Amino acid sequence: MYSKLSETIIQLEISLYTNGEILMVSEKLLRVIACPETKQDLVVADDAIVQKINDLIEQGELLNRSKQKVSEKIDGGLIQKEDRKYLYPIRDEIPILLIDESIPLDSI
C-alpha cells in the first residue's frame, strides 16, 4: 500500500537541477520501480522525447492510454526499457505509474 513514507522517499530520490530543465532520477529508485503492467525495468526519457510530448500537450493533440486529452505538461518521464511503448509521466517530481495515465510512444 502506498504510504506517506513511500511518497517522501520517492520525493527524496527524484530531484530537479536548479535550472528546472534537467530531471534526475536516482539509480536506486530505478532499481525498485517497474512498469506496473509488464514489470519491465524503466529508464529515464531523454530531453527530446519530453520536449516533443510537451509540444503536443501545448497544442492540445496528445492523448494518454485511456484516450483522455493530456493537458498538464510533464517534467520528465520513465519509459519501458525493453519495448519502449509507453512513457510514464513525471510531474512535480513524482512518477505517475498508472497504466491509464501512460503516454503511448508509437505516434511520438
First and final CA of the chain: distance in angstroms?
A: 33
State how far Cα 104 lies from the chain centre.
Answer: 12
Beta bridge partners of 105: none
pLDDT in tens, 12-32: 444 433 334 445 577 788 888
Position 1 pLDDT exceeds 50: no
Mean pLDDT of 91-95: 89
Domain that holds residue 69: 4-104
Q: Long-range contact list for 13-17, CB < 8 A, 24+ apart? A: 14/90, 14/93, 14/94, 14/95, 15/93, 16/75, 16/93
Mean pLDDT of 52-68: 97
- Total of domains in the chain: 1
| Model pLDDT, residue 91 | 93
Question: Which phi and psi angles does 78 have, rounded to 5°?
Answer: -120, 130
